[in-house]
Amino acid sequence: MPNTNHCGLIICDFDHTLFDTTRFVYDLENAFEKVGISKNDFRKIRSELKAKQQVFDFNEMASILNNKSSINPHEVVQNILKTKATEYIFDDVSTFIKNHKENFDFLILTQGDKNLQLQKLKYSGFKNFKTIITKSSKITPLAKLLLKYDHIYFIDDKAKHIDDIKTSFPNVITYLLKRPQDELYGKNDQLVKKADFKIQNLNFELKC
């Protein structure tokens, strides 16, 4: 239930928005290389799976990697997250949350492999945050929140998510976040049509 003392809801994506997934994947490549899986093989397997899956499923990738090495891929991921996950949170995230927690509810709405996302959230310090993990569109979970809040702000790094949300819910204020150091979706983001704002970081303050 919404906090009656809060004037709105901030919805944030996780990967590439709060969490530096590019650095995480880079560290994964190095870790798997040490156990006999080259960076090229890792990238090829990951790219092929991402191309055929609507949402990346690490379990399928782990099965392929397990056939190439005796190491347990899930243990490799967990070891990295246990030791480095807090380092992957972008520097402006803590201040952004601190500046808004008195007036806003905060929700992480992330699309991805549930087990992997839960580990990222747990080890990066977001275990106790209200979170929705979906393998489909972000429209459905957001629809259930519309009647509960007068003001909703949606922050995401993918142009498609921004356009989908704004098309379905015109009253939601959308922010396309393009961090200069993490331009994974740069070409696609040039096609965004319905972002209310385009931003490069979270160094701003929302008002109800």
* Superfamily of the domain at 8-19+89-199: HAD superfamily/HAD-like (3.40.50.1000)
Q: At 47, list the tokens.
A: 């790219």
Mean pLDDT estimate for the chain: 88
Q: What are phi and psi of 181, to 5 degrees?
A: -85, 0
Q: Which amino acid is at 32?
A: F
Instruction: Compute the average pLDDT of residues 52-56.
Output: 73
pTM: predicted TM-score of the whole model, two decimal places: 0.91
Name residues whose C-beta falls within 8 Å of residue 81's C-beta, 6 or more positions apart in sequence.
Answer: 24, 119, 120, 122, 123, 124
Digit-coded pLDDT (tens) for 73-131: 889 999 999 999 999 999 999 999 999 999 999 999 999 889 999 999 999 999 999 99
What is the per-residue pLDDT for 190? 58
* Structural domain spans, the chain: 8-19+89-199, 22-85
Is the distance from CB of 162 to CB of 17 less than 8 angstroms?
A: no
